[in-house]
Structure 1
């Protein structure tokens, strides 16, 4: 059985966070052909409402870079693999040594709530609700978190992610999906590939039957795992380097164009 796995921001969604009518139609065509489609995103659950509002059928999602598998039809978390408080404490300790100026936030309650240090610069984060500011780093480390977020002013995103990855080796997975110097940290071994592999095993779909679409470094593990990897035209060089093929950009309906050819 074939399965389609697609990233959201920068891949399926346009820059204004909308899904084109053409893309919506292509996803409906896949459903009509009994081809499962799963959203695989760095977004937490609380950020999915605006996506589901644009879809005729709510699609299952692997959220928080693989830490959460979510069934929107039942509003049910099928699997969660968060950072334990002990791991969060160790990560905070290492970050304080490596990047003393770093400020942190965490996605808790399976990604339904965000808690951030008062100095953490809020950008689009607060648009989706469920946000609480705290004054002490220790208050961020008491509950399991499906994702920890790290900022330290304006940084080169690739270099900063590499720096954090080295500092957290063995205790967390560091990646990035933006150009703003934000690093996203998951539990050790938790990636989009791991979350998608769990979901596909549940359906009995082997990696060889999965076609995956992506655009940023947090998509690389998923694309490397999938049988066929597709980068959109606007993708990060690291994504294009491992992709089996490159299609049009997200603004030009690259995913839809591919699906139209795949499912005539």
Structure 2
């Protein structure tokens, strides 16, 4: 197969359930003869958890396509945020239709995270993450991602409700197994971010093989010349994929690449 670039999601895809790169995956990544790009819903501040496991850091498209990062130069090549006025409109729409909604924002290109008091506390002691002091603070600055959580909704139903509520004002998707929806500026998707990077490098969609496992990967897999869903992927992803590989706990990406590149 004449691939010139490998695009892969991280969680549920490249790493296993323990959030680790296996020895097999590391060995294959070291041998792949074309660039490998991480395309993830993760913010920039979460990249170190993966990059520290690699001998050399990989380029990354973060926040579902909103931020494109070059680790070689430690530069953000592109960032697309939602303006404060859009955030204000979007949050008002969501509060009107979801009584138990809890909100948070990724700001400073994903280097910082601000959340409402009711947001689950998962990162105690991280100075980059803090509770907002007032509701107005949530929408006071541009954000690369708005996150909306419901404690009672079905995850797929919640995504559908949020998407319908926002219309073309913003893009809603999800990568979590819970009712957590990730909202980006209109036009921002993993596919859009990857397309921008590929055009910059002179690579066309048909020369890209992409791997993913959740609904936020659907645009990327639809765009790429070869779409590969993980064995553990959401049914919606398997429905649009060209192929289904082994699960992330069975080194699905590494197994596929080993065969594709005859490593």
The 1:50/1:128 distance shift into structure 2, 3 A limit, reads farther
Matched, 1:207 2:205: yes
- Between stretches 40-49 and 164-173, larger displacement belongs to 164-173
The 1:126/1:164 distance shift into structure 2, 3 A limit, reads farther
| Contact preservation (8 Å) 1:46, 1:128 | no
- Counterparts of 1:26 and 1:156 in 2: how far apart (Å)? 38
Deviation, 1:126, is 5.3
1:19-71 Cα distance to aligned partner (Å, 9 max, x none): 111111111111xx2x0110000000000001000011100000000000001
- Counterparts of 1:49 and 1:128 in 2: how far apart (Å)? 14
Count of residues in correspondence between the two structures: 260
Choose which of 144, 147, 156 in structure 2 pairs with 1:146. 144
- Between stretches 228-237 and 99-108, larger displacement belongs to 99-108
- Counterparts of 1:27 and 1:117 in 2: how far apart (Å)? 39
Matched, 1:27 2:29: yes
Cross-structure match for 1:185: 183
- Counterparts of 2:21 and 2:126 in 1: how far apart (Å)? 18
Cross-structure match for 2:76: 77
Deviation, 1:154, is 3.3
| Contact preservation (8 Å) 1:63, 1:69 | yes
Cross-structure match for 1:226: 224
- Counterparts of 1:212 and 1:23 in 2: how far apart (Å)? 16
Deviation, 1:171, is 1.1
1:96-143 Cα distance to aligned partner (Å, 9 max, x none): 1111321110000000000111122233x5586510111422101111
- Counterparts of 2:81 and 2:113 in 1: how far apart (Å)? 14
Cross-structure match for 1:6: 8
What is the correspondence of 1:121-200 to structure 2 with a 5 Å cutoff? 121-123=120-122, 130-200=128-198
- Counterparts of 2:130 and 2:229 in 1: how far apart (Å)? 36
- Counterparts of 1:26 and 1:126 in 2: how far apart (Å)? 35
TM, length-normalised to structure 1: 0.96
Cross-structure match for 2:40: 41
| Contact preservation (8 Å) 1:47, 1:128 | no
- Counterparts of 1:4 and 1:200 in 2: how far apart (Å)? 11
- Counterparts of 2:29 and 2:155 in 1: how far apart (Å)? 32
What is the correspondence of 1:239-254 to structure 2 with a 5 Å cutoff? 239-254=237-252
Deviation, 1:214, is 0.3
3-state SS of 1:10 partner = helix
Cross-structure match for 1:60: 59
| Contact preservation (8 Å) 1:62, 1:69 | yes
Q: CA RMSD in A?
A: 1.2
- Counterparts of 1:19 and 1:72 in 2: how far apart (Å)? 19
